[in-house]
Structure 1
Amino acid sequence: MTDSPNGGVSRRSFLASTGAVGALALAGCTEGPSNGGSGDGSGSSGDSGSSQLSGEINITGSSTVYPIAFAVAKKFQSAHSGVDISVSPTGSGGGFSNHFCVGNAAFNNASRPITKEEEQLCSDNGVEYHEINIATDALTVIVNSENDWVDCMTPDQLKQIWRADGASTWAEVNSDWPDEPISRFGAAETSGTFDYFNETILGEETSHTTKYEATEKDNLILQGVQKDQYGIGYFGFAYYQGNKDAVKALGIDNGDGCVKPSLETAKSGKYKPLSRSLFTYPKKSALAEEHVAEFARYYVEQSANSSLIADEIGFVPKTEEDMQAELDALNAVIDEVQ
């Protein structure tokens, strides 16, 4: 993994590697604190003088949010080497169901809001949580670089490809396209990306096809599409941005012309309907511990760090105003539990 100048990791090397790992523990990180503007490590939490903080923090959840959590944890530990942080990309749903809502994680990252079923599971196990909006993503549909017949799709065309009993060849979607089988690569059912795509493109009345290569690992989606001229897949924009030379991103025509996924179109709201909010959920009881509370504050502060969130990782960061509102809400919860 290659360090970047501001203490994070280079987007290409980091995002190219993290899709393949199951978890990364950041115990004992000792590199020096980073420098920069607001929210980059010079805020109240990152260099607050709490160098004696110690303890463990277990973070599970979304593989899409994973690069943010990992980078933030790495930067936090540059000032607090006594805090051991484990970050596991279990998928949003997998994290809620198997870890967070049964009491085995301090945070769960999610690429969509917590569901009613997950809320009930947390309640059944006495787990109270606080929702934090961390960033905005542009969910990206990719095809093989040699695909010369399509640059843009409508939501309805995507629905034809990804619904159960949908199109089996490209020509069935558009008669001008090749009469060749569609090879699909996408998120597993435990993924928040799967949930968001399913809800946004397919809708409540339509099921996602099971005839595709399902995985939690973005690198496997990338590799599948990269090796198959007739492949198509989807994942978060950050992973595409780190691999632009490997595949082609499709624009989406939602009725107002073709719009390509980018930080700018996601921020402006023009990239519809595949722009989405990203979240992290700290457990309230964990926030009673000082090292967890300090990390949670730092996580929120970093959400406005453009050099990290936008330039390094590839998401739309929070504005300073929105970040402060999230921080105020978090501090109210911390005051409540401490």
Structure 2
Amino acid sequence: MLKRIVGAGLVVAAVMPFAAMAQEATPEATPVELPAVDALAVTGDIIVAGSSTVFPLTEAVAGLFTDEGYSGAITIDSIGTGGGFERFCETAETDIANASRPIKDEEAAACEANGRTPIEFRVGTDALAIVVSAENDFLESLTLEQLGQIFTGQITTWDQLDASYPAETIQLFSPGSDSGTFDYFVEEAAAPLFEDAEDDIAAGQEAVLNAPGIQLSEDDNVLVQGIEGSPYAIGYFGFAYFMENADQLKLVGIDAGDGVVVPDEVTAEDGSYPLSRPLFIYSAASVIEAKPQIGDFISFYLTNVNDVIAEVGYFPASVDALNLAKENLLAALGQ
């Protein structure tokens, strides 16, 4: 688990489904303006936990908030999306949950039971990076089906994929099952291989978790180190972690039926890269009312996230999606 301290169906209608939020921005779209936040005047600590993917983005915004004069402490734990919702909804220990997937119905119900109706704020777009070591000189691309077959143990050596590849065991590195990245990967790459099963997602999850020799970690840096260490390894995580280690890793292009695509700002936002996904933070009006610094921080986050997102290694959400997040916050603030 990474911890960083910076400085000294029951979801309400404001939580719109991702499909409704991620509509393509039109040229006429005008960014919603939030009231200015004076970071120097904000008091009280802020506690955040959740997705390892959203962690570096929230960390970057928190650093900017501190640079602007905020003198409280912002604690940010990287424990996976599921762990973040557990802390926010079930134990009510945190003020904000970082998430690389939308909240599940059962998580929202746990929030409601604690008087926390969750509000969703879209903060960016990630492209799931499929990577091998820079020492791998044979793999350039995979079909989405081949990717699923590798991580469900249906293909276990590289030469089974292509006779010209080495007859070496494929070493698998994956986020753990508490990770929203894991959930997303299973849904997109593994579950389609089990479409005849009663529950294709459960079957896909079980297959990935039981793939021969797979190494699981909620810490993406552990995955990076493992993949870097062998030309026969393959893994996946958020694009930011590839960017941080681009000299030691190599991106694998993905073909979902329309040709090989690699992730970048255009392919992530327009959906042509088949493994692009939204990034979120969550809070609740009751939390914001009890701790005004949370509303201030979220307002600062939504206003300034695009100043740091490319530097972190992710891609901006569309203007429409970010506008909806801002409108959700204004509603929570009663404005």
Shorter-chain-normalised TM-score: which range? 0.7 to 0.9
Which amino acid counterpart does residue 145 of structure 1 have in structure 2? A
Higher mean alpha-carbon deviation, 190-199 vs 319-328, is at: 319-328
Residues 1:230 and 1:66: Cα distance change in structure 2 (over 3 Å): same
Please state how far the C-alpha of 1:236 moved relative to its aligned partner: 0.6
The match for 1:186 is 174
- Matching residue within 142, 146, 150 for 1:153: 142
Q: Deviations over 1:117-149 (max 9, x none)?
A: 212222333322100111011001001212222
Please state how far the C-alpha of 1:301 moved relative to its aligned partner: 1.3
Preserved contact between residue 186 and residue 212 of structure 1 (Cα < 8 Å):
yes
- Matching residue within 264, 267, 272 for 1:270: 272
Alignment of 1:88-237 (within 5 A): 88-163=77-152, 165-203=153-191, 204=201, 205-206=203-204, 207=206, 208-210=208-210, 211-237=213-239
Confirm or deny that 1:64 pairs with 2:53. yes
Please state how far the C-alpha of 1:55 moved relative to its aligned partner: 0.5
Preserved contact between residue 166 and residue 209 of structure 1 (Cα < 8 Å):
no
Q: Deviations over 1:289-315 (max 9, x none)?
A: 321111111111123x2x4111x1111
SS for the counterpart of 1:180 is: coil
Please state how far the C-alpha of 1:324 moved relative to its aligned partner: 2.9
Please give the alpha-carbon distance, in whole angstroms, between the structure 2 residues aligned to 1:158 and 1:56.
43
- Matching residue within 86, 89, 109 for 2:75: 86
The match for 2:299 is 297
The match for 1:23 is 3
TM-score when normalising by structure 2: 0.83
Q: Which has the higher contact order (CA 8 A, sep 6+)?
A: 2
Identity of aligned residues (%): 35
Which amino acid counterpart does residue 240 of structure 1 have in structure 2? F
Alignment of 1:308-327 (within 5 A): 308-310=308-310, 312-327=311-326
The match for 2:330 is 331
Preserved contact between residue 237 and residue 262 of structure 1 (Cα < 8 Å):
no
Q: Which of structure 1's runs of 4+ aligned residues deviate more than 4 A?
A: none
- Matching residue within 250, 255, 272 for 1:253: 255
Please give the alpha-carbon distance, in whole angstroms, between the structure 2 residues aligned to 1:239 and 1:279.
17
Please give the alpha-carbon distance, in whole angstroms, between the structure 1 residues aligned to 2:71 and 2:137.
53
Pairs aligned (count): 298
CA RMSD of aligned residues (A): 2.1
Q: Deviations over 1:7-32 (max 9, x none)?
A: xxxxxxxxxxxxxx62111132xxxx
TM-score when normalising by structure 1: 0.82
Higher mean alpha-carbon deviation, 213-222 vs 50-59, is at: 50-59
The match for 2:16 is none
The match for 1:17 is none
Q: Deviations over 1:183-215 (max 9, x none)?
A: 111101111101100111111242313331111
Please give the alpha-carbon distance, in whole angstroms, between the structure 1 residues aligned to 2:281 and 2:314.
15
Higher mean alpha-carbon deviation, 235-244 vs 209-218, is at: 209-218
SS for the counterpart of 1:51 is: helix
Please state how far the C-alpha of 1:95 moved relative to its aligned partner: 1.1
Residues 1:82 and 1:267: Cα distance change in structure 2 (over 3 Å): same
SS for the counterpart of 1:244 is: coil
Name structure 1 gaps, 5 residues minimum: 1-20, 29-38
Which amino acid counterpart does residue 241 of structure 1 have in structure 2? M
Preserved contact between residue 140 and residue 240 of structure 1 (Cα < 8 Å):
yes
- Matching residue within 60, 73, 92 for 2:62: 73
Please give the alpha-carbon distance, in whole angstroms, between the structure 2 residues aligned to 1:144 and 1:51.
44
Please give the alpha-carbon distance, in whole angstroms, between the structure 2 residues aligned to 1:117 and 1:333.
22
Please give the alpha-carbon distance, in whole angstroms, between the structure 2 residues aligned to 1:74 and 1:187.
26
Please state how far the C-alpha of 1:260 moved relative to its aligned partner: 1.0
Please give the alpha-carbon distance, in whole angstroms, between the structure 1 residues aligned to 2:321 and 2:168.
47
Please give the alpha-carbon distance, in whole angstroms, between the structure 2 residues aligned to 1:265 and 1:84.
37
SS for the counterpart of 2:156 is: coil
Preserved contact between residue 100 and residue 279 of structure 2 (Cα < 8 Å):
yes
Which amino acid counterpart does residue 190 of structure 1 have in structure 2? D
Please give the alpha-carbon distance, in whole angstroms, between the structure 2 residues aligned to 1:290 and 1:97.
22
Which amino acid counterpart does residue 212 of structure 1 have in structure 2? I
Which amino acid counterpart does residue 316 of structure 2 have in structure 1? P
